[in-house]
Amino acid sequence: MATNVFARERTAAEALSSRLISYQQAPVGIILGTGLGQWVESLHDFLAIDYKQIPGFPKATVESHVGRFCAGRVRNVPVLALQGRFHLYEGYTPDEVCFGLRTLGLLGVKKIIITNAAGALNPLCQPGEIMVISDQINLTGRNPLVGLNYGEPLFPDMSQLFSPRLAALAHSTALQLGQRLQDGVYIGILGPSLETPAETRMFRRLGADAIGMSTVLETIAAKQMGMEIIGLSCLTNKNLPDCMAPTSLEEIISVGKDISARLSSLLDELIPRI
Ligand code: HPA
């Protein structure tokens, strides 16, 4: 992507701004991952704009991927949502991967919910569960702040990337709904191949509880923009190195869809309390 990516993000935000005026009063931002995008359509005053209609937005390479910038309300709280994201493994640059997140920031988002589908590495976690991300390991070898295009802070502090306040709120909200959330470290890899048993063993030993191919760059960009961050991993499969079962994209998407009903009720209750 050209070096003037920052200007392109401003162009996108300005183009969206005129259509989103009524949603821009302290909006909560949310990124909806693989198979988790449907919830947004239940919002009041729902509005969706295809990424391809937004000037400056990266172009989708995979036609089947839904890519829409959405807005709506949960009990009067304005929400700006990215339905579908760009991944490094599709060949996008870190700037392109973070384009939507940074556009949310320019539109006034200060609190961001980042969701993803992930494989469980912790043997105590089961497919179908939701994990609150307590911390992350960026193993993609990429960083969205490289190039120093984005101003200050150049070296954002990472000692508390995810908000303990939002994590505690998610846990208590879930308990009131009769759900129990897991809690753990997310490791982000480049992909797109899934892990071998030896890699799975290594990632577990590195301290990760869940693994996926997104999120870790967006959180870094969000932190630099000063956002308060909560990450929710929907655990779609279990990776145990000593009895590794094959995993397919179909399985990941289908379990993701099962979890999305629970994720939806959690989001409906969590967002008004944020
Ligand atoms: N590995 C990597 N990414 C994933 C997985 C996995 O097992 N499940 C969902 N996304």
The predicted pLDDT at position 2 comes to: 45
DSSP-H helix ranges across the chain: 5-20, 94-97, 99-106, 164-176, 197-205, 216-224, 249-273
CATH H superfamily, domain 2-273: Nucleoside phosphorylase domain (3.40.50.1580)
Is 84 within 8 Å of 37 (Cβ atoms)?
A: yes
Give the distance, in angstroms, between the CA of residue 14 and the centroid of all CA atoms in the same chain. 23
Q: Give me ligand 1 centre to Cα 250, in Å.
A: 12
Closest CA to 139 of 189, 81, 104, 200: 189
Q: Give me ligand 1 centre to Cα 15, in Å.
A: 35
In sequence order, which residues have a C-beta less than 8 Å from that of residue 246 and are 6 or more positions away?
Answer: none
Q: Which atom of ligand 1 is nearest to the CA of 212?
A: 3
Closest CA to 266 of 171, 174, 178, 167: 174
In sequence order, which residues have a C-beta less than 8 Å from that of residue 114 and are 6 or more positions away?
Answer: 30, 31, 133, 215, 218, 219, 222, 229, 230, 231, 232
The Cα–Cα gap between 131 and 128 comes to: 10
Interstrand relation of 44-50 and 28-32 (parallel, antiparallel or unpaired): unpaired
Question: Ligand 1: which residues within 6 Å by Cβ?
Answer: 117-119, 194-195, 211-213, 236-237, 239, 247, 252
Sign of the alpha-carbon dihedral angle for 178, 237, 98, 196: positive
Sign of the alpha-carbon dihedral angle for 117, 118, 123, 124: negative
pTM of the model: 0.94
Average pLDDT per consecutive 10 residues, the chain (274 residues; last block may be shorter)? 74 91 86 85 93 88 74 94 94 94 95 96 95 98 88 90 98 96 98 94 97 98 97 92 78 80 95 95
The predicted pLDDT at position 47 comes to: 94
b/e map 172-209, b = 16+ CB within 10 Å: ebbeeeebebbebbbbbbebeebbeeeebbebbeeebb
Q: Which atom of ligand 1 is nearest to the CA of 247?
A: 7
Q: Which atom of ligand 1 is nearest to the CA of 189?
A: 2
